[in-house]
Amino acid sequence: MPAHLTQDEVIARLRAIVKTRTQASLADEIGVSRSFLCEVMRGTRPPTGKILDHLGLKAQTVYIKKGEKT
């Protein structure tokens, strides 16, 4: 696994899990509301807390010099 993931890559991991079940069952398992999980999966809210814990991830802020590729 790479040292860091973009928000889109985290969302892709959630979508891969949802392919084998429903969003509702995943939200219940994680312990978040169905609406919050839906907003995260649409990219309108960042993945946080319990969702990141479920994926074995933690959030970290990274600053990159303008013009540099990530």
* H-type alpha helices, 2-33: 7-18, 23-30
Tokens 């807390």, residue located: 49
Residues of the chain with pLDDT under 50: 1
Enter the pTM of the model.
0.81
Q: Three-state SS for 36?
A: helix
The confidence score (pLDDT) of residue 2 equals: 60
